[in-house]
């Protein structure tokens, strides 16, 4: 038994390079637009939030959507690529969703804090905690349902066949 389908690996590497290029372009655009002199001094939303902070937040949301789309695009490829663990495409996607949740948390934190204040910070943390725990539970359920198949695949990969003692 092979642990990895090398034909699908090339497709996955192409997608990883593609998302890396997209994220680098978003980072460069964010740096360029945020450093413009007339953007850095403007306030918006009751003069609490600077325009460059809001632009950075929008760019980070765009990056989150691109990463989310990457996980949707590569789910089937990863599922066919990693044959050792059934349902690994879903595990891959849910792990990327957790990364997106962490990025969204830190990108919106300062804007939320300036807009709503520290009194509502508990609700902000609770929302992100709930989403994170949801995807962690989904990953755990996939591993739990496939634990027998995974363990038998690992034993078979190590070279132990059905030998009579």
Residue-wise pLDDT for 37-93, tens only, equals: 887 777 777 677 888 888 899 999 999 999 999 999 999 999 988 878 888 999 999
Residue 164 in domain:
no
Residue 132 in domain:
yes
Nearest to 134, CA basis, from 86, 92, 101, 87: 101
Residue 165 in domain:
no
Give the Cβ contact number of residue 142 at 10 Å: 18
Q: Which of 8-22, 60-74, 90-104, 109-123 has the lowest mean pLDDT?
A: 109-123
CB-based burial, 101-121: b 16+ in 10 Å, e otherwise: beebbebbeebbeeeeeeeee
Residue 1 in domain:
no
106 token code pair: 């830190």
Percent of the chain at pLDDT exceeding 70: 95
DSSP label at residue 120: G
- CA dist 144 and 104 (Å) reads 29
Q: Provide the number of structural domains found in the chain.
A: 1
Classify burial at 63, counting beta carbons within 10 Å of its beta carbon; exposed 0-12, middle 13-18, buried 19 or more. Answer: buried
Residue 150 pLDDT exceeds 60 = yes
Range of 134's domain?
A: 6-157
CB 78 within 8 A of CB 5: no
Residue 165 pLDDT exceeds 50 = no
Please state, rounded to an integer, the average pLDDT across all residues of the chain: 88
Residue 128 pLDDT exceeds 60 = yes
Residue 163 in domain:
no
pLDDT of 68 = 96
Residue 162 in domain:
no
The string of DSSP letters for 33-61 reads HHT-HHHHT-EETTTTEEHHHHHHHHHHH
Percent of the chain at pLDDT exceeding 90: 55
115 token code pair: 């807009």
- CA dist 140 and 160 (Å) reads 27
Assign 20 to helix, strand or coil.
helix
User: Which residue matches tokens 């539970």?
Assistant: 137
22 token code pair: 């997209």
Residue 15 in domain:
yes
């Amino acid at each position: 038994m092979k642990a990895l389908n090398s034909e699908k690996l090339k497709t996955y590497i192409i997608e990883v390079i593609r998302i890396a290029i997209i994220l680098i372009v978003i980072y460069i655009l964010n740096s360029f637009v945020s450093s413009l002199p007339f953007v850095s001094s403007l306030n918006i939303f009751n003069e609490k939030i600077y325009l460059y902070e809001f632009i950075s937040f929008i760019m980070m949301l765009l990056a989150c959507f691109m990463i989310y789309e990457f996980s949707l695009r590569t789910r089937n490829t990863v599922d066919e690529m990693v044959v050792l663990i059934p349902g690994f495409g879903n595990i891959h996607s849910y792990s990327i969703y957790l990364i997106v949740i962490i990025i969204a948390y830190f990108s919106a934190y300062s804007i939320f804090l300036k807009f709503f204040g520290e009194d509502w910070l508990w609700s902000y943390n609770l929302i992100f905690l709930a989403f994170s725990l949801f995807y962690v539970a989904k990953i755990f359920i996939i591993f739990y349902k496939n634990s027998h198949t995974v363990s038998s695949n690992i034993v078979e990969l190590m070279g132990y066949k059905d030998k009579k003692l």
